[in-house]
Structure 1
Amino acid sequence: MSSYPSTVVFTSISETPISITEHEDLAAHEHMGAVVSFCGVVRNHDGGEQVDKLFYEGHPHAPEVLAKIAQDIAGEFDGVRIAISHRVGMLAIGDVALTAAVASAHRAEGFAACAELVERVKKELPIWKNQYFSDGHTEWVGSL
């Protein structure tokens, strides 16, 4: 058991660019020996089709849901510090859509907590994306 309490240091749904380095810096602490991070980047293809850009739309309660997911992870993993953000709006190929950083005393806890955090965000966060394909058609992904 860690002598440092788990905490969520930052969560955000942002229309402006997000930085994995800033999230790593927020999560880092002198008590932590590991900072594990994930950076989800907009890619130029999906299902064999060329993607030009994405539009992310979030439910008005998305910030609260993201904070709750992060808090739940902090409650499940001992002694972690969490910083996470998701972008909304129009994103170009190569833009960062999701950043997550988890600091922990040891790497195993950090990897496990970061992986679970990202999985829960992908499943539970009410943010949907509209993919704009090179042939002119669009497709909503994750819509209810």
Structure 2
Amino acid sequence: MAGPHEVVREASTSSDPLSVDAMLAQVRDPSVGGIALFVGVVRDHDHGDAVTSLDYTAHPTATAALRTCAEQTAAAYDVTAIAVAHRTGHLEVGDLAVVVAVGAAHRQAALEACRHLIDTLKEQVPIWKEQALVDGTSEWVGLGDEPGA
């Protein structure tokens, strides 16, 4: 079995739009029988408040933390390939915020690893979002609720 460094094909943050097709291509492999995808999309509400847009701010260590989460997931699950990308900067409702793709020989491992990775990165990767609300106010959501906190 490949080590976690070889399994993690991509772990990135970028202000460029994300592509599900590009992430899917990263985890396609002749030995893969199941691919699990998670696609996080900017929605128009959060906890009852109407959201118009949001801005993601990433700490300089965010990409390294994302890679660490992916490598830990690769080491914990019987998977062949992992690709994960998180968007930064300004996003509108409907934009892709995060894409996680996991390929494995069997669907159960792919699904479990995909869920583990999205849950872990949301807890551990220092990326915050500032949501613009329809009433003209904004709120911070994420680790410590504000950048640097």
Q: TM-score, normalised by structure 1?
A: 0.95
The Cα shift of 1:78 comes to 1.8
Match of 2:95 in 1: 95
Question: C-alpha offsets along residues 89-135 of structure 1, whole Å, 9 cap, x if unaligned?
Answer: 00000000000000000000000000000000110010000000011
The structural deviation recorded for 1:48 is: 1.2
Write the letter of the residue equivalent to 1:82.
I
1:115 aligned onto 2:115: yes
Structure 1, unaligned stretches of length 5 or more?
none
Q: Which stretches of structure 1, 4 residues or longer, exceed 6 Å deviation after superposition?
A: none
Tell me if the contact between 2:31 and 2:80 (Cα under 8 Å) persists in the aligned partners.
no
CA contact (8 A) 2:79 2:110 kept: no
Residue in structure 2 matched with residue 81 of structure 1 by the alignment? 81
AA in 2 matched with 1:103: G
Deviates more, 1:50-59 or 1:70-79: 70-79
Aligned pairs for 1:22-101 within 5 A: 22-101=22-101
For residues 131 and 42 of structure 1, the distance between their equivalents in structure 2, rounded to whole angstroms, comes to: 10
Q: Which residue of 1 aligns with 2:106?
A: 106
Q: CA deviation at 1:80?
A: 2.7
Secondary structure, in 3 states, of the residue corresponding to 2:17? coil
Q: Name the TM-score, length of structure 2 as normaliser.
A: 0.92
Consecutive unaligned residues of structure 2, counting only runs of 5 or more, are: none
Q: Deviations over 1:5-63 (max 9, x none)?
A: 25101111000000112101111101110111000000001111110000000000101
Question: How many angstroms apart in 1 are the aligned matches of 2:34 and 2:25?
Answer: 12
Report deviation, 1:79.
Answer: 3.3
Instruction: Write the letter of the residue equivalent to 1:136.
Output: G
SS in 2 for 1:99: strand
Tell me the residue number matched to 1:139.
139
Following the alignment from structure 1 to structure 2, what is the Cα–Cα distance between the partners of residues 90 and 51?
13
In the aligned structure 2, how far is the partner of 1:106 from the partner of 1:75? 16
Question: What does residue 12 of structure 2 align with?
Answer: 12
CA–CA separation in structure 2 for the residues paired with 1:22 and 1:81 = 13
